């Protein structure tokens, strides 16, 4: 599953998701956009926070598979 698909199916915009992530850990909109495009890999904390908010298994995110 693509991170964008997971975000959209949970009814979040990039901005609203970053706002929610901000209650748990630091993440800028630009950084999240890079993560979503697969340009950078998130640290484990950020990855787990994103997946917890979106209610998805981190092992299912295509951008994070090797």
- Going from N- to C-terminal start, the domains of the chain cover 3-56
Low-confidence ranges of the chain (pLDDT < 70): none
Locus of tokens 């630009």? 30
pLDDT at 65: 82
pLDDT at 66: 72
CB neighbour class for 61 (10 Å; exposed up to 12, middle 13-18, buried from 19) = buried
Q: What is the pTM (predicted TM-score) of this model? A: 0.93
- In this structure, the number of other CB atoms found within 10 A of the CB of residue 43 comes to 12
With vertex at residue 57, the alpha carbon angle to CA 15 and CA 64, rounded to the nearest 5 degrees, is 70
């Amino acid at each position: 599953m693509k991170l964008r698909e997971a975000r959209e199916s949970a009814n979040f915009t990039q901005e609203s998701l970053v706002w929610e992530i901000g209650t748990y850990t630091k993440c800028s909109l630009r950084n999240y956009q890079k993560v979503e495009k697969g340009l950078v890999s998130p640290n484990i904390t950020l990855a787990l926070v994103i997946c917890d908010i979106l209610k998805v298994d981190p092992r299912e995110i295509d951008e994070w598979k090797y």
